[in-house]
Amino acid sequence: MTIGESVGVAERPRTEGARRLAEAATPGTFVVLWSSAFIAGVIGLGAAPPLLLTLCRFALAGMLLAAVALVTRAPWPRGRALGHVVVAGLLLQAVQFGAFYTAMSLGVTGAVAALVQGLHPVLTALLAVPLLGERVSRRQAMGFALGAAGVVLAVAERISSVGGGVLLCVAGLLGLSFGTLYQKRFCPGMDLRSGQAVQLLASVPFIGVLTTTLEHPAVTAWGPFAGAVLWLALVNSIGAFTLLYLLLRRSQASRASSLFFLTPSVTALMAWALLGQPLSALTVAGLAVSGAGVALATRTVRPAPVAAARSAS
């Protein structure tokens, strides 16, 4: 063995270890980044109307990703693939965030919006059976039940503030769930640079028409508005969605979606730490129960050594 070969052999365990560490950290990182969108949304909505905030988020993130795709010469979707990418983007971006942020502007708290969104794993699991042919095991079903219970516990004391905005939250939930399944089925090999750029930029005219017809687009505080747009565009539209698409590629849609059970509790924790909103014992209990549900729903069951040995022989 030459010196170069020995160095290559030594580097393989390090590379493999780094890859496994990155994969293990991806779910937790995704939950934190995704939950932060509600906090940034609260700050941004104090400075501008919801659809204007959403429009600027999409435009900035879309242009940045388009520039990255052009510089790195990423392949762009064409023909039928382009149409599928656009449809998934309108559902995941325009419908979801346009509805959720409008609901929050009507008085729905970030925690309650996260509560409705936290039901995404149950809806996705139910829809994935007929649409994607996925199977839900008894263990996963128990995990979904625990996760849903944790979601309710996390924000049980704040449900009274929902009001009529709950219908918009449900619309956002449907956009997220149907968009996730559509992305999983029709856009599995989408380039994450060019594909996300197309999805975001396709949502810009849709939201633009709505904000000019339904709102009086004006910014009342440029500092908070600019900070919220930058965070939502860079951290959420680019960072969190990239992690979501990676998770969808690695596992079933229902399993990846189970992480959304954690977002209501994590959002409540962030609101307590950053916005001074009170943190109750029910929120802490909800975090624990949701975590147990996610662990149960996403745990990979390995075959017993005896069974593995028999199958190998």
CB count, 10 Å around CB of 251? Answer: 16
Amino acid at 185: R
- Beta-carbon contacts of residue 218 (< 8 Å; ≥ 6 apart): 48, 49, 52
Q: Are 217 and 59 in contact (CB under 8 A)?
A: no
Q: Are 37 and 114 in contact (CB under 8 A)?
A: no
Domain ranges of the chain: 29-137+161-252
| pLDDT per residue as tens, the chain (313 positions) | 555 555 454 455 666 666 676 677 788 899 999 999 999 999 999 999 999 999 999 999 999 999 999 999 999 999 999 999 999 999 999 999 999 999 989 887 777 788 788 788 888 877 887 877 777 778 888 888 887 787 777 666 666 555 567 789 889 999 999 999 999 899 988 999 999 999 999 999 999 999 999 999 999 999 999 999 999 999 999 999 999 898 888 777 777 788 887 887 788 888 888 888 777 777 778 778 877 887 787 665 555 454 444 444 4
pLDDT digits (tens, 9 = 90+) for 118-127: 788 888 877 8
pTM, two decimal places:
0.80
Asked if 282 contacts 156 with a C-beta cutoff of 8 angstroms, the reply is: yes
Per-residue pLDDT tens over the stretch 228-274: 999 999 999 999 999 989 888 877 777 778 888 788 778 888 888 88
Scan for tokens 């908070």, then name that residue: 224
